[in-house]
Chain A
Amino acid sequence: MLRLEDARLLRGQARFLDDIEAPAGTLHAVFLRSPHAHARVLGIDAEAARALAGVTVLTAADFLHLPPLSPDLPLPGFAPVPRPILCADTVRFVGDTVALVLATDPYIAEDAAELVLVDYEPLPAVVTLEDALAEGAALVHPQAPGNRLFQNISATEGFDAAFAAAPHVFCETFTASRVATVSLEPRGCLACHDAGLGETTLFSSTQVPHLLRNTLSTALGIPESALRVVAPDVGGGFGMKASVYPEELLAVAAARLLNRPIKWVGDRQDDFLASSHARDMRFGVEMAMEADGTLIGFRLDVIANAGAYPGIPFGSSIEAGGGPRTFPGPYRFRHYSFRTRAVTTHTTPSGPYRGVAAPVGFMALEGMMDRAAAALGLDRAEIRRRNLLRDEDYPFTNASGIRYDNGPHHALLDRALALSDYAGFATRDTDPDRLRGIGIACITEQTGQGSARYRARGLLRIPGIEGARLKVEPDGSAVLFVSQTTQGQGHMTTFAQMAAESLGIAAENIIVQEGDTALTPYGSGTFASRSVVAGGGAVITAAEFIAAKMKRIAGHIMEADPADIVLHDGVAEVNGVPGLSVTIEEIARTAHAMRPIGMPPGETFGLDTTQHWDQPFSSVSAACHVAEISIHRRTGQVKVERYSITHDCGRMVNPMIVDGQTHGAVLQGLGPVLMERMLHDSEGQVLTTTLLDYTLPTMLDMPDIAMDHIETPSLDTLGGVKGVAEGGTIGAVPALVNAIAHAMRGHDINIRAIPVRPETLLRAITTKDCR
């Protein structure tokens, strides 16, 4: 089904944050940001700025009543550190907020910001993972000894013995460079305060309106009932907009303080400095294997650079916790030991980004499988076959305690190899000027987590539930309010389709509304591939509730047993009694006391219900990616030649949307492998702050993608769906890295860090060719 949301987007009628007409009297905000990675703030002189007409400058001194936040809870493994809303005496990363400059238009706000003089005393900065862990390293936070914000150590029973007895132990360390998310629309917010009512509305380009509202309430001491958060159209989020940021809190605080609407639209440099970064991680892997290539187990040492402060609400464990949890993938092994840490540095805070740690984790896992295959003389597909979970292994709980519902991993691999014509690779490897390689990645994607999972992870501020309110109007049209939000994932269509399945109302006649805490039920928001599972579960529950009620009303009208009523195409018919029907509209009018025949006795009026869904176990999607690349021998430049995916995300409500999500996810894996990296110098200065320095994949860099699907309905979700949208990234990173490594197999190089630069490849190619 084509998307219901397209027309207004195509016509330019969308309302992204900056499209919202700012009310009269709005002050436009520019955040003055620290140019130092670590410094004491000795003084702020805003006199020249304030001399400009209409300019207000607010600093921490204006918000002394707002205590710092504590993103991490004091749970085992965590070293909670405070996060000030506006820096008072210390700045901890280039981009940290020092002052809020307000003016009557954005141009003047920038002029004013330039006139604010801040007296800094620069201090030594800790920038990289290694810096943070070095002996005697400067502390980013006194509350985090050793610069460690989070640690988890775990081992399955009998691990040491099993490892000691292993015939083979392969070791490697894999590193990923920090990346930025770069949604095309930067962040922004508009805070409007009604002093009479004491109520504030915050429009924000966010993925998590309810969590934002919670945080505003806690941070600013405002009752939640006095706060409304609205996510308008959002131009991409990808996890970055699932965090709550100081700018949002300050906009509300300033609006209430000054009783003026406050509007902030981030520019691209703001975005590079102050929006969450991701995947600055290292995976040390030891893989124990039998002589025949079957896995015994893994020992991991995972480190994630969490940046200067834990994010809100995902905290410092988002990547470090996710790393070991998602690592085991589709393979069968029992022995698992890991130490995982999140360290703090004087850099931009990290947050969730599509796939979170899994793209890096699978680069490690799938990289090890290829290395073992080479060492043991096994075909790369064969070594995977010996370890992939089989149908008879299900129900399965992996070595990190995650339950998998099902997954046709062998079929996915076989079909991916066929789809990609893996066997015919040699026939395509004919260009003498280019080295060609093909890489496989078998992955799993943990989706749709519920409250149990978030509690187990110590993320108590994330409820894990979602809600849906379905309201059928007197004329039989319907509105579906969902607690999730969309940044392009097509919820207006997918959720309408899911509701339509039981309602007998066409999806085109079901309006889906999201993003407004005043209208939508309470929930968690959109992240971690949860929408179709968690939001969908609530939608299905609400739709089935209303459908059952409609059948009871129809049965009453037609004097038939509700169990014999079928709802379809705008009517209710009685099974086996052709010609006897009543329209949905008649049912709806009856429910609103607008028809001669009343409601069934005891039935409440209206067709309006709010239902929630709490997914008991995450549902696990699976895929196999095959990437084929070529490398120019004289320049080291990499071109992605072919790309194939077979994919199982359970029952697909809208296959077109599933494919679109997967394509986009591949792009966000390809970029970090070939060309994206956030660079700092040794003092923490950010070197990549524009799209000229931070290069994104264009249409010339992305291949066409062949897709094939298997639909194995989930046993654990409503509707048999599984989450989708991160798998493309999780699979693309390992598939592309393995393809590059394969292309370079005749050269003395170990591909274990991304991005893989032409320079690295050319050096190895040239060295070999000179011999």
Chain B
Amino acid sequence: MKPPPFLHAAPRTVAEAIDLLAEHGDAARVLAGGQSLMPLLVMRMARPSVLVDLNRCAGLSAIERADGALRIGAMARQIDVQRAPQTPPLLAMALGWAGPRAVRNRGTLGGSMAHADPSAEAPAAALCLDAVMVLASRQGQRLVPAAEFFHDALVTAIAPDEMLLEIRIPPAHPRCHFVETGVRQADLAMAAIATDLALDGQGRISAIRIAAIGAANRPIRLPLAEQALLGRTPTPTTLREAARVGLAGAEPPSDLIASAAHRLAVLAGLLEEAVLGACHTEARAA
């Protein structure tokens, strides 16, 4: 398991990186943390002739607030994002599930988004939080909402000559929860639910967002579940019903890990557990 030959380029600026992508297009792959791409390279399932290594590229790792949103550079390491005080708790929780420590030390937030493994946690959290991806190419920058970013397993809106610069996250709701399950106690996610919500003075859900891993070949929101819960008190009955309508029509993948039917069954339980869990967390100050 050795990679095939390639040219390794380590641009120092975003402009250089963009030039490389423009020049090589499909023949280039961006190397971020390497935790997802390197296995593909050594198994020779990816064969770029140029590797655009962003690990020496300036200006891509900041985690800062600007214009009311949290802006996280694509090359910010998952462990750093997880621990940053400005990071919304939902994203921090999701990253806690994203793999063992050594993986999160090198793995980047942007890399996780761009790779778009259907079982990855960070994309689901981004979707739940209505994150916006900032993409850059020679044509300039464009903003793509998370809802339009994840197309399919390992397929995103990023064009061959584009790179992900930044993930922008608007302010989150005060309460959140993330629950995941697999075969092992720590595993690739078979299914997971990310949710953030707000409760009004009477304990009713005044705002709610729910994203699912394992309901499709990519993370998806569950708008019907969200609607079913808006304005309601989270009782077992309302939750069960919300899960039922929210997942109706979902087409989870069937694979070595689980069948579609099992994922559906599990997601229903996870949804209830996630929403209840969020309701019981301390409301976070905005």
Contacts and interface: CB of A to CB of B under 8 A. Distances in A.
Direct contact between A and B judged by beta carbons closer than 8 A: yes
Contact of B183 (A269, A633, A757): A757
A59 B269 CA distance: 56
Contacts of B259: 759
Nearest to A268: B1
B270 A675 contact: no
Interface string B1-29: 11111000000000000000000000000
A64 interface: no
Contacts of A107: 2-3
A697 B272 CA distance: 28
Q: Is the interface of A mostly helix, strand, loop or mixed?
A: loop
Contacts of B39: 690, 692
A269 to B, nearest CB: 7
Contacts of A758: 181, 183, 190, 258, 262, 266
Given A268-B1, A634-B269, A698 B188 contact: no
Contacts of B286: none
A693 interface: yes
A642 interface: no
B44 A698 contact: no
Contacts of A766: 265
Nearest to A111: B4
A267 B1 contact: yes
Nearest to B2: A107
A636 B258 CA distance: 12
Interface in B249-286: 256, 258-259, 262, 265-266, 268-270, 272-273
A636 B259 CA distance: 13
A695 B265 contact: no
B1 A698 contact: no
A698 B184 CA distance: 8
A435 interface: no
Given A632-B181, A634-B266, A635-B181, A269 B186 contact: no
A630 B177 CA distance: 23
A637 B191 CA distance: 12
A634 B263 CA distance: 11
B148 interface: no
A700 B186 contact: yes
Interface string A664-678: 000000000011000
Q: Name the residue among B181, B184, B266, B270 with the largest chain A CB count within 10 angstroms.
A: B184
Contacts of B2: 106-107, 110
Contacts of B266: 634-636, 758, 762
Contacts of A690: 39, 43
B145 interface: no
Contacts of A111: 4-5
Contact of B185 (A106, A636, A692, A700): A700
A635 B269 contact: yes
A501 interface: no
A374 interface: no
B256 A687 contact: yes
A697 B184 contact: yes
Nearest to A634: B269
A114 B47 CA distance: 13
Interface residues on B, range: 20 to 34
B170 interface: no
Q: Name the residue among A674, A758, A763 with the largest chain B CB count within 10 angstroms.
A: A758
B190 to A, nearest CB: 8
B277 to A, nearest CB: 12
A688 B44 CA distance: 17
B107 to A, nearest CB: 15
A369 B225 CA distance: 48
Contact of A759 (B258, B268, B273): B258
A639 interface: yes
Q: Name the residue among B188, B262, B273 with the largest chain A CB count within 10 angstroms.
A: B262
Nearest to A677: B256
A639 B269 contact: no
Interface in A428-487: none
Contacts of A701: 184-185
A506 interface: no
Interface string A620-655: 000000000000111111010000000000000000
Nearest to A687: B256
B184 A675 contact: yes
Given A107-B2, A110-B2, A114-B44, A639 B185 contact: yes
A296 B2 CA distance: 59
B247 to A, nearest CB: 14
Contacts of A674: 183-184
A679 interface: yes
Contacts of B64: none
A762 B256 contact: no
Interface in B46-83: none
Interface in A586-639: 632-637, 639
A634 B184 contact: no
Interface in A191-229: none
Contacts of A693: 256
B152 interface: no
A242 B266 CA distance: 42
Contacts of A763: 262, 265
A687 B2 CA distance: 21
Nearest to A762: B265
A735 to B, nearest CB: 19
A766 B185 CA distance: 21
Interface string B182-202: 111111101000000000000
Contacts of B184: 674-675, 695, 697-698, 700-701
B83 to A, nearest CB: 21
Given A111-B4, A759-B262, A763-B265, 11 more contacts: A114-B4, A114-B44, A634-B268, A634-B269, A634-B270, A635-B181, A636-B266, A679-B256, A688-B256, A758-B262, A762-B266
Interface of B: 1-5, 39, 43-44, 181-188, 190, 256, 258-259, 262, 265-266, 268-270, 272-273
11 contacts: A107-B2, A635-B270, A636-B262, A637-B181, A674-B183, A675-B184, A688-B256, A692-B39, A758-B181, A758-B258, A759-B262
In the A-B complex, the 6 residue pairs with the smallest Cβ-Cβ separation, listed nearest first, are A634-B269, A700-B185, A759-B262, A635-B181, A267-B1, A107-B2
